[in-house]
Amino acid sequence: MAGFDCAVAVEIDRDCCATLRMNRPRWDVRNDDMRLVDGKRWRGVDLFAAGVPCPPFSIAGKQLGDRDERDMFPTALKLIEEIGSPAVLLENVSGFASAKFEGYRRNLNRKC
């Protein structure tokens, strides 16, 4: 509704991909690990939007941050740089903004 078309949707969960394909049959839905994606293929799309896994930062979990293998913020930043979108939307849980992860947020760009 905001005027964007989906260039590609990358999702590691096969069942989620099936749901996306059923609900959005015209979308290019790829069942893949975003760590293996080369973002240069979509260079210059208008918006990079992603919801990276929240368990590393959720107060309902162990809050392992960068010690959790599901921490995909560095990968998302790599893709953002490769794609070069002028607009970015990253979604996560409020725990990510907590004081516990202040150092993580400050140093995030150094990991890319």
Which positions are annotated as active-site residues? Answer: 54
88 phi-psi bin (left φ>0, alpha ψ -120 to 50, beta other): beta
Strand partners, 50: 90
Q: Label residue 38 exposed, middle or buried (CB < 10 Å: 0-12, 13-18, 19+).
A: exposed
